[in-house]
Chain A
Amino acid sequence: MRISALLALLLTVPALNAGFFSTDASSEPQIKCVYSGTDGHCVEPILKSQNELVITVVGQGVAPSVTASPAQAYALAKRAAVADGYRQIAEKVRGVRVEGQDTIKNMMLVQSSTRTSVEALVKGANVTNTTFKEGLCEVEMEIALSYSRFLQ
């Protein structure tokens, strides 16, 4: 009887230290920084009910080699850049599906491929800035996420 009581005590003390029986509800969960801002500080990309979360991306597009005019080249490059911008917004908001495949033959890597895909419906994204230089078009796009928009 004494031995079993002693055993139970020995098992309970580490469990209490590990916090299994802790009833302290005030402890806040530790939130990790998911990505860093341009200035190196941690930017917390968590949507809260009080404020909006603005996501900014830069999409790039190249004009086809054969076009009827410089204006057409600009227009087509901008379309491709906007498509790239929408893809980046979808990747940030919705996430990316990643599939990888390696083929090993006779203990040697003979083929390696990675496929990423994303599919999303984007509402309310805006083009804020457009630059066209040396055949490369860059569009800066942003989307503001808010609770009210998600609840629509």
Chain B
Amino acid sequence: MRSRNGNRSFLFTFLAISTTVSFGADHYYIGYRLTSKNTQPIYETLSVSKAMQPCHPFTPSESITLERLNLENLHTLLRREQTAFLEFAASHELHIKSNDTFRTINPQTLNSLTLPTYCYAVEFNDESVTITATK
């Protein structure tokens, strides 16, 4: 059970985060696709697009903070920190499609991994970027 002061600080923190995510952050649509053939990646694309209008409804979920170098934009930052971002985003939802063909010669396996394009709230700071996923 929280004390009264604990409740007040919790409420203040929640309001601060909600206000920042709602008004202080930009909204971006981010998607990813990877195709691997015979366990080797052959095609990979990461698409980043700034939302023309704020995403609605936006219910903030988990967030990740990535280091920002030389005031780089989101696309450059995500290409550099792609692994960290993908591990963060993939834990929510990921689409897998696999087709394997086995013949007497030339067995072939093709896996396609797709991160569905979702809206993320991105808050830019001088040395870091906080990306918040939606529920």
Contact = CB atoms under 8 A, between A and B. Distances in A.
Given A83-B111, A87-B111, A118 B96 contact: yes
B67 interface: no
Nearest to B95: A121
B48 interface: no
B36 A61 contact: yes
Interface size class of B (residues with CB under 8 A): 20 to 34
B102 A122 contact: no
A111 B104 CA distance: 8
A127 B87 contact: yes
Interface in B67-99: 82-83, 86-87, 90-99
A50 B41 CA distance: 40
Interface in B24-50: 34, 36, 38-41, 44
B62 to A, nearest CB: 12
Nearest to A137: B39
Range class of the A interface residue count: 35 or more
Contacts of B102: 113-116
B36 A79 contact: yes
Contacts of B55: none
B104 A112 contact: yes
Interface in A80-96: 80-84, 86-87, 89-91
B2 interface: no
A119 B103 contact: no
Interface string A114-137: 111111111111110000000000
Contact of B91 (A75, A111, A124): A124
B93 A121 contact: yes
A54 B6 CA distance: 36
A83 B96 CA distance: 8
B98 A117 contact: yes
Contacts of A81: 39
A60 B91 CA distance: 19
Contact of B101 (A114, A121, A123): A114
Contact of B83 (A60, A64, A78, A122): A78
A76 interface: yes
Interface of A: 60-64, 75-76, 78-84, 86-87, 89-91, 111-127
9 contacts: A80-B41, A82-B113, A86-B111, A111-B104, A114-B101, A114-B102, A120-B95, A124-B91, A125-B90
